[in-house]
Structure 1
Amino acid sequence: MANIFTEAAKSVSTPENLDTPKSSVTAKHKGFEVRRYEACKWVSTRTMSISLEDGMTTGFWKLFKNISGENDISTRHKTIQSIPSETSNVPGAGPNRENTFTVSFYIPLEYQAAPPPLPTKLTNPDVFISDWPEVRVAVKYVALTFDGFANDSVWAAKGRELVEDVEKTDLKDKFVKEYYFTAGYDAPAKLTGRRNEVWFKIED
């Protein structure tokens, strides 16, 4: 598994020439598609918040600061030359209902087999390397329907749409409803034509 990404020529690149996780579309349905992502590594951090938007923002800047100066990794700038930034949302329980958000940046292809030594070099102990196993996800494209930034209500609405679409298919008993992921593909400075996605994990 460690050498899955050693052939750089096979990397998936965007028009901006940024690395993305390797994936393949295994099925297309009305309103969504199913992708299978290969096992890969991300640099991640966790935050607690009632608001998805606040949790994503806090996690994003915590990661960004650590990879762009708050550490002594000579290759730190390479870590942000990839997309998407991904956030998992695990709903909380209790009166405050704070959710647990894990915000992650994909580690570029050339470092997948041997990532920079983030765990021992970071000044912020909340940042860590996470290993994703091979996973299948249902994906809802949401960037094609609006410009600007997605807020809590938009993410929730698109998540509900995806749930409704999946439940109309033979995958209705296979997707994990307890949590979901959001994926953003654009820099914060991009104001229009942004690409955002909602993901639900599909069990094999």
Structure 2
Amino acid sequence: MQTAVIFLLACLPFFVLGQQPPCGNRDCPSYTRTQLNVTGGYEVRRYDPSQWVVTSAPGRSFRRLFRYIGGFNDQGAKISMTVPVLRAQRASGSTMMFYLPNTIVPPTPTNPDVQLLDIPVKEFYVRVFNTNSKPQPTKYQQELQALKTAVDGQYNDTVSYTAGYHSPWHTGVRQNEVWLEKL
């Protein structure tokens, strides 16, 4: 029994690092894992082309995007919530993004602070970490710094991303991620 416990504890980094995002019954962008670096605590994901609805205006970013998928668009169409919710951080500020399923033709936003964004095939370094509550910004920064150190400058240093898969009201374990664009 003790040997089994030790084996499981030794394998835990493989299970956490290699786990799939918790999409559940929600749409999420498709990708292929091209590398798993257990020592560095990251994986490389190659994401297929995808479309996102974004807002970079400060303030109520989540509300603007939620209103868009709730029908505040040129078609009055409601769109199911997807995951992850991404936040891109640049020196000029942050952008919040909702993934749009590839099974729909996205309606045009009616709010000028909301835009559609096409992202081509792209590879990201991804560091997965779990928390029991919504992570504080300092936790994201700590995980991002660990990822930057592990990939040693082989990333686009003008942008970083945080990815969340759970609603603000979720209780229990949350899977969180930080992403860097691979050069």
TM-score (norm 1): 0.72
SS at match of 1:19: coil
Q: 1:42 to 1:161 in 2, by over 3 A?
A: same
| Alpha-carbon separation, structure 1, partners of 2:35 and 2:140 | 23
| Alpha-carbon separation, structure 1, partners of 2:134 and 2:21 | 23
Instruction: Pick one of 89, 102, 108 that aligns with 1:109.
Output: 102
| Structure 1: segments with no counterpart, 5+ residues | 1-11, 49-54, 93-99
| Alpha-carbon separation, structure 1, partners of 2:85 and 2:21 | 15
1:27 counterpart residue number: 35
Q: Does 1:158 align with 2:160?
A: no
The C-alpha deviation readout for 1:160-195, integer Å capped at 9, x for no partner, is 01111112xxxx4x3112220111111121032111
SS at match of 1:102: strand
Residues matched between the structures, number = 162
Is the 2:50–2:119 contact (alpha carbons within 8 Å) kept by the matching residues of 1?
yes
2:68 counterpart residue number: 66
Shift of the alpha carbon at 1:74? 4.2
* 1:1-204 equivalence runs, <5 A: 16-29=24-37, 30=39, 31-48=41-58, 58-71=60-73, 73-78=75-80, 80=81, 82-92=82-92, 100-111=93-104, 115-119=105-109, 122=110, 124-143=111-130, 146-167=131-152, 172=153, 174-203=154-183
Is the 2:74–2:108 contact (alpha carbons within 8 Å) kept by the matching residues of 1?
no
TM-score (norm 2): 0.80
| Structure 2: segments with no counterpart, 5+ residues | 1-19
Shift of the alpha carbon at 1:127? 0.7
Identity of aligned residues (%): 30
SS at match of 1:154: helix
Q: 1:13 to 1:108 in 2, by over 3 A?
A: farther
AA partner of residue 162 (structure 1):
L
Q: 1:202 to 1:15 in 2, by over 3 A?
A: closer
Q: 1:25 to 1:75 in 2, by over 3 A?
A: same
SS at match of 1:195: strand
Is the 2:83–2:165 contact (alpha carbons within 8 Å) kept by the matching residues of 1?
yes
| Alpha-carbon separation, structure 1, partners of 2:150 and 2:65 | 33
| Alpha-carbon separation, structure 2, partners of 1:118 and 1:192 | 36
RMSD between aligned residues = 2.1
Is the 1:185–1:195 contact (alpha carbons within 8 Å) kept by the matching residues of 2?
yes
